[in-house]
Amino acid sequence: MEFNLHKAEFLTSAVNPKGYPVHDLKEIALVGRSNVGKSSLINALVGRKKFARTSNQPGRTQTINFYRVDTLCLVDLPGYGFAKVPEGVRKKWGPMIESYLKGRSNLIGVLHLVDVRHKPTEDDKIMNSWLREMDMPHVLIATKIDKISRGKYGQHAKVVRDTLGTEPLLFSAETRQGRDQVLSLIQQFMS
């Protein structure tokens, strides 16, 4: 099944199930630490630099953002972990993310993003374990591969694999390395 990636639009932002869009589209969620590159991955997939809002400042995404891409909906969840946002806001993110992941019937898979430059955090481990326990179809994507030298790819991927027990797909929003593989995995989720 091929997607028309040019047929993409922002649908809505929500903080709870009442705000979720009512549709029959299958949804794939993007989870990961603050500033790991979730919005950048969405932009790389649809080939638009400013489709999903990005920021160098961690914690910018504070709502669940829904993006229709042809017959699919990509869902950008707030980042977990460190973010320079008020403590009260950060405490709301956990229940907001969990409520979506546990209760959304449209959800068919998760793209779990980790930054290849850093050893996965305790939060990354918790998310990885949770996805396995929930038997949620998911794929691990190591982002920002363009920020390290090609000769170090294997070494960094090994740290991610050894920490989380899963082989990561290497991805760069900058160079689009791994983009076709991500699209292929999304198509597998859809079938």
Question: Is 3 domain-assigned?
Answer: no
| Alpha carbon 23 to its chain's center | 21
Question: Is 55 domain-assigned?
Answer: yes
Confidence band (pLDDT; 50, 70, 90) for 191?
Answer: confident
Contacts of 83 by beta carbon, 8 Å cutoff, 6+ apart: 34, 35, 58, 59, 90
| Alpha carbon 159 to its chain's center | 20
Q: What radius of gyration do the chain's Cα atoms show?
A: 15
Percent of the chain residues past pLDDT 70, beyond the cut: 87
pLDDT in tens, 30-88: 999 988 999 999 999 999 888 887 655 544 557 899 999 999 999 999 887 655 545 55
Lowest mean pLDDT among 23-27, 94-98, 138-142, 181-185: 94-98
pLDDT in tens, 106-139: 999 999 999 999 999 988 998 999 999 999 999 9
Question: Is 2 domain-assigned?
Answer: no
Q: What is the pLDDT of residue 1?
A: 55
User: What Å distances lie between residue 33 and 8, 37, 79, 112, 124, CA to CA?
Assistant: 25, 9, 5, 9, 7
Question: Is 158 domain-assigned?
Answer: yes
| Alpha carbon 173 to its chain's center | 12
pTM: 0.90
Question: Is 142 domain-assigned?
Answer: yes
Q: What is the pLDDT of residue 170?
A: 97
Instruction: Supply the range of the domain harboring residue 96.
Output: 8-190
Amino acid identity, position 98 = E
Question: Is 71 domain-assigned?
Answer: yes
The CATH code of the domain that includes 15 is 3.40.50.300
Domains: count for the chain: 1
Q: What is the pLDDT of residue 15?
A: 86
Question: Is 1 domain-assigned?
Answer: no
